[in-house]
A and B are shown apart, each in its own frame.
Chain A
């Protein structure tokens, strides 16, 4: 479904030494020559249809930057990303025009952010937020959009009666569920989740995780889950990549990463679990 090759995102002027002088071996993602920040580099992985792929690592390891590059919130400095349903996966979507990127964002991908205000327009009603995605896909019928929004809200366990309320009046868990409903509005084959349960009450966290998993199974979505929480990764993802200083240090089956970590950093991360 998704193939990423050598993706990199560098903030700053960047020089020819940035990649070789940063990363876990140097315990830093700041290039000592030019001072550029290598947020992520040498990132390659694949996610299959119906698969949940986990990205785990401490804050600043580059995992959020990576998904934001994939959702075009940030412009990748280099590398390729291909999506099977877009031009049969022949075209590097990081290099297409802004209009094409918007098409991909609206039809082929959904994103759920850690902070609801990044994914939702707080001054639009919750139905309006979902309608935004539908309108972009060409819906021009208010009644039908409301039907679809009600269906999505029902599915994500938000009372459809609150469809016309502003998301600002919702609890954190409910805002997250509205974000998920919005992300799924056009039934995209790929869903990106950036720390979606961070900051939620434990009980709410569980409901959101369960929702994501059942939706994923039902719709056979390919999902990339970013989390610093190994517990979330354990419950959701089949395979997991561990990130450190902007690079992937280990990729494997999630249970293998947790029970038989190979790399020193992964061992440290796993053994530091509460």
Chain B
């Protein structure tokens, strides 16, 4: 093979691992790192990819998902690149994986202490929506000066009656840093709190790495009279496995002209179906 194991050179890996250690040491703090050139354009998961490349070893079992799906184009390409440059085993089942790289979702299955979850981040700065200057946002983090972020939420509630942020819901990590949890839905935010596994976040274009170590407090920003809420699917169930307690994607059934819903986490859905669960009212269509 013409490439180093996991594509990037060992010195780059060491640098990235040092930055990961720094990020783990200060939960929620964005550690700058020297983002490398990769055979993928920046903005397509290069931050997560570099974290994965610098951590992966020959014994790891890798899972790559995109929007909860292992089969989407981006997930397949990243997995192929990693697999070709490392030769490691890959897994579809969340439970079997030791290293999971993802964009937009955290698997439904509760992760364990043996697993590392790597999330790709397009915009690492949670405060960017309220402050355009990078120098100022760094100062704001340093001084824990978060009133403006809170005013943003206040204004949202005043204007719309609730916080309208769907993805990238800002969280307070370890009572110290406000963090962008990457574009996961609100549904996944509570999974970051006091989790057994390590979460790592990489932004390749923006050159930032941050982390939520195991058993860290992660609290979505909320008001006493407007508590944080996850998405409400109004009792709808997955048309494949019948699940009512997973994050659902809405789809259009061109045959019937109706909206149908399916688990966003395809591996989880498939496992439930393999275990014999089926959507009752849709069973006939299987």
Contact = CB atoms under 8 A, between A and B. Distances in A.
**Bind each other:** yes
B143 A164 contact: no
B145 A142 contact: no
A87 interface: no
Interface stretch (A26-34, A132-140, A168-176, A264-272): A132-140
Interface in A86-122: 98-99, 102, 121
Contact of B226 (A99, A125, A136, A142): A142
Interface string B107-149: 0000000000000000000000000000000010011110110
Given A98-B143, A99-B143, A124-B155, A132 B223 contact: no
For the complex, would chain B's binding face be called helix, strand, loop or mixed by DSSP majority? helix
Interface in B221-246: 222-226
A142 B157 contact: yes
A145 B154 contact: yes
A135 B155 CA distance: 12
B226 A135 contact: no
B1 interface: no
B215 interface: no
A135 B151 contact: yes
Given A140-B224, A143-B225, A135 B145 contact: no
A57 interface: no
Given A127-B158, A164-B158, A135 B150 contact: yes
A135 B147 contact: yes
Contacts, number: 51
A131 interface: yes
For the complex, would chain A's binding face be called helix, strand, loop or mixed by DSSP majority? helix
Given A102-B145, A136-B147, A141 B155 contact: no
Contact of A125 (B145, B147, B155): B155
Nearest to B139: A98
A128 B143 contact: no
A115 B147 CA distance: 22
Interface residues of B, number: 19
A140 B142 CA distance: 21
A164 B157 CA distance: 11
B151 A132 contact: yes
Nearest to B158: A164
A145 B153 CA distance: 13
A141 B224 contact: yes
Contacts of B225: 141-144
B144 A142 contact: no
B151 A128 contact: yes
A128 B154 contact: yes
A124 B148 CA distance: 10
Contacts of B157: 142
B140 to A, nearest CB: 10
A164 to B, nearest CB: 5
5 contacts: A129-B151, A131-B154, A132-B151, A135-B147, A141-B224
Given A99-B143, A121-B151, A127-B158, 7 more contacts: A98-B142, A128-B158, A129-B151, A131-B154, A141-B223, A142-B154, A164-B159
Interface of A: 98-99, 102, 121, 124-125, 127-129, 131-133, 135-136, 140-146, 164
The 3 tightest CB contacts between A and B, nearest first, are A136-B147, A135-B150, A141-B224
